């Protein structure tokens, strides 16, 4: 239940939205990386431009697509922080996690197949250097602070564009190209392409993403202290996901 007394969509509907959204996100990140490799061989900088631009624009669209149903988390760290702020029960948060991971794995398989590759190809792209791990702390902390700064200041409707813009920029200002998401880190293991990550690098990435999420949570609390409306606002991540919209559609 959201803090304003309106009911959220049924859990099964929210889980389906998280799985589909996560699948599209992984397909977007990996598919655009494969396309960039094919279109701009041996031009790493141009490949990154293409991958970042597609991800930024596509993420904006995907959040708009499923945000009103599940909040468009697609990210266990976002889900955990939402639960910590009271916008989601911990029981529901635990249910979101496998949906997000399964969706990201399915998206990697889908991207591979769309570009006529093996359905699964384990990545050999090792990324877990000290600089990459520091970059993931920064990327994840910034993402969490952005999302909850908007929500806790009553500007949640700006989140789709803001999150897309932030991730697109973070491809460039972080050495890790800003995964900032444990679920997508797992999914990207299954594609040995431009956007992939070797399995050996994933545990360290997930650990520092969790640390970044904790830092972002602390900064959001520091900059935007709790108010009586905070739980209701927290339930709107990333877009309002109550049954109000569904009722309006039915009335129409």
Q: What is the pLDDT of residue 8?
A: 79
Residue that wins the pLDDT comparison between 225 and 184? 184
CA distance 81 to 40: 38
By three-state DSSP, how is residue 128 classified? coil
Answer for the pair 233, 161: CB distance below 8 angstroms, yes or no: no
pLDDT per residue as tens digits for the range 142-193: 999 999 999 999 999 999 999 999 999 999 999 999 999 999 999 999 999 9
| CATH tag for 11-224 (out of 3.40.190.10, 3.40.50.300, 1.20.1080.10, 3.90.1490.10) | 1.20.1080.10
pLDDT per residue as tens digits for the range 11-53: 999 999 999 999 999 999 999 999 999 999 989 999 999 999 9
CA distance 138 to 93: 23
pTM over 0.85: yes
Task: For the chain, count helices (H), then strands (E).
Answer: 10, 0
Angle at 160 between CA 155 and CA 161, to 5 degrees: 90
Chain centroid to Cα 46, Å, comes to 24
């Amino acid at each position: 239940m959201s803090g304003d007394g309106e009911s959220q969509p049924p859990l099964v509907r929210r889980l389906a939205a998280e799985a589909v959204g996560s699948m599209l996100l992984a397909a977007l990140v990996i598919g655009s990386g494969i396309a960039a490799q094919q279109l701009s061989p041996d031009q790493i900088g141009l490949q990154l431009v293409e991958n970042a631009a597609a991800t930024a624009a596509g993420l904006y669209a995907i959040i708009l697509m499923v945000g009103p149903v599940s909040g468009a988390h697609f990210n266990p760290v976002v889900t955990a922080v939402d639960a910590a702020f009271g916008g989601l029960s911990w029981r529901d948060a635990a249910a979101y996690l496998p949906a997000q991971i399964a969706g990201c794995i399915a998206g990697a398989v889908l991207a591979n197949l769309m570009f006529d590759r093996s359905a699964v190809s384990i990545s050999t792209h090792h990324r877990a250097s000290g600089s990459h791990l520091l970059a993931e702390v920064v990327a994840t902390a910034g993402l969490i602070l952005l999302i909850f700064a908007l929500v806790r200041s009553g500007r949640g409707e700006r989140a789709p564009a803001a999150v897309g813009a932030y991730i697109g920029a973070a491809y460039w200002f972080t050495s890790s190209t800003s995964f900032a998401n444990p679920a997508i880190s797992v999914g990207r293991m299954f594609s040995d392409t431009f956007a992939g990550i070797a399995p050996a690098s994933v545990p360290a990435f997930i650990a520092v993403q969790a640390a970044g999420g904790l830092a972002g949570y602390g900064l959001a609390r520091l900059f935007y202290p709790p108010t009586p409306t905070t739980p209701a606002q927290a339930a709107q991540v990333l877009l309002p996901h109550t049954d109000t919209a569904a009722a309006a559609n039915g009335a129409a």
